Amino acid sequence: MVDAAIGGKNGVDLGHLKNQIGVINPPIMTIIDPAFLKTLPQQHLVNGSIEMFKHGLISDRVYWKDMLNVTDYLTDTFNSLIYQSAIIKSDIVTMDPFEKGPRKALNYGHTAGHAIESFLMEHEEREAVLHGEAIAAGIVVESFLSVQYASLSMDAYQEIKDWYTSLNFTFSFTDDEVMEMIDLMKYDKKNTNGEIKFVLLETIGSFVTNQVVANEDILAAFKELKK
Ligand SMILES: [Zn+2]
């Protein structure tokens, strides 16, 4: 409702690599009816909400705060947050349909998050996760990097970390596993010449794109998931 339905991206995975092939074609019509949310288990409601939090982080501090106050996903208040999220995404993709600039911000949390998803798909002995769950972990990793490489304050980072902690996910990776994920990140289509380019936050509500980060800092950022 707030993400894949808007923006016309149609992608398929190639092996274990996420969204490697696809086209961008806007739909003729998109129908968003929150009544369908009643059919979803809580885990999937949480999963879907992660991209809404992401929308707040990249574009609107007030919206982020409103999302933090949500206690129930089946309310008129939450329905209006779905509407606002759809508008945030729609405004960005209208401005930049082919991801030359601002649309890249929608990948916040996804460079690390997609690597986590691909890694867990490749390692069948590890428990599978939902997309939003991996993106929440990716948001923590990339927010930690934002403190070092962009101007995100430690207080803002802590606020994001507290949100993540409240979700009770249990991600934990060894350094060797993170190195494997760093290799996976190089396949991300945003990246060229083997450099990994991150979207990072300057504040809650504003971002910078195309930030190159040292591997040792990515390793340190993944350690935040265990704390
Ligand atoms: Zn996503």
- pLDDT tens per residue across span 48-100: 999 999 999 999 999 999 999 999 999 999 999 999 999 999 999 999 988 89
Say how many domains are in the chain.
Answer: 2
Among 61, 95, 129, which residue terminates a domain?
95
Same domain, 219 and 110: yes
CA of 166 from ligand 1 middle (Å) equals 20
In a domain, 27, yes or no: yes
Q: How far apart are CA 201 and CA 147, in angstroms?
A: 8
Same domain, 16 and 79: yes
Among 95, 124, 156, which residue terminates a domain?
95
117, two tokens: 């998803």
Same domain, 114 and 196: yes
Same domain, 131 and 198: yes
pLDDT (tens digit, 9 = 90+) per residue, 182-196?
A: 999 987 766 667 789
CA of 187 from ligand 1 middle (Å) equals 17
CA of 161 from ligand 1 middle (Å) equals 19
Q: How many H-runs (helices) and E-runs (strands) does the chain carry?
A: 8, 4
Cβ–Cβ under 8 Å, residues 37 and 74: yes
Q: What is the pLDDT of residue 112?
A: 97
Same domain, 142 and 208: yes
How would you write the pLDDT of the chain (227 residues) with one tens digit per residue? 999 999 998 989 888 777 789 998 988 999 999 999 999 999 999 999 999 999 999 999 999 999 999 999 999 999 999 999 999 999 999 999 888 999 999 999 999 999 999 999 999 899 989 999 999 999 999 999 999 999 999 999 999 999 999 999 999 999 999 999 999 998 776 666 778 999 999 999 999 999 999 999 999 999 999 87
Same domain, 88 and 114: no
In a domain, 152, yes or no: yes
CA of 135 from ligand 1 middle (Å) equals 7
CA of 206 from ligand 1 middle (Å) equals 18
CA of 5 from ligand 1 middle (Å) equals 11
CA of 185 from ligand 1 middle (Å) equals 15
Instruction: State pTM to two decimals.
Output: 0.94
- CATH number assigned to the domain comprising residue 219: 1.20.1090.10
In a domain, 2, yes or no: no
Q: How far apart are CA 63 and CA 68, in angstroms?
A: 9
Q: What is the pLDDT of residue 189?
A: 63
CA of 60 from ligand 1 middle (Å) equals 18
Among 95, 115, 142, which residue terminates a domain?
95
Same domain, 122 and 199: yes
Cβ–Cβ under 8 Å, residues 129 and 201: no
CA of 75 from ligand 1 middle (Å) equals 23
- C-alpha dihedral, 147 to 89 to 59 to 141, nearest 10°: -10
CA of 47 from ligand 1 middle (Å) equals 10
In a domain, 32, yes or no: yes
Same domain, 66 and 112: no
CA of 106 from ligand 1 middle (Å) equals 8
In a domain, 3, yes or no: no
Domain boundaries, position 75: 9-95
CA of 44 from ligand 1 middle (Å) equals 13
CA of 4 from ligand 1 middle (Å) equals 8
Same domain, 37 and 119: no
CA of 131 from ligand 1 middle (Å) equals 7
Same domain, 46 and 71: yes
Same domain, 222 and 189: yes
Same domain, 207 and 188: yes
CA of 182 from ligand 1 middle (Å) equals 18
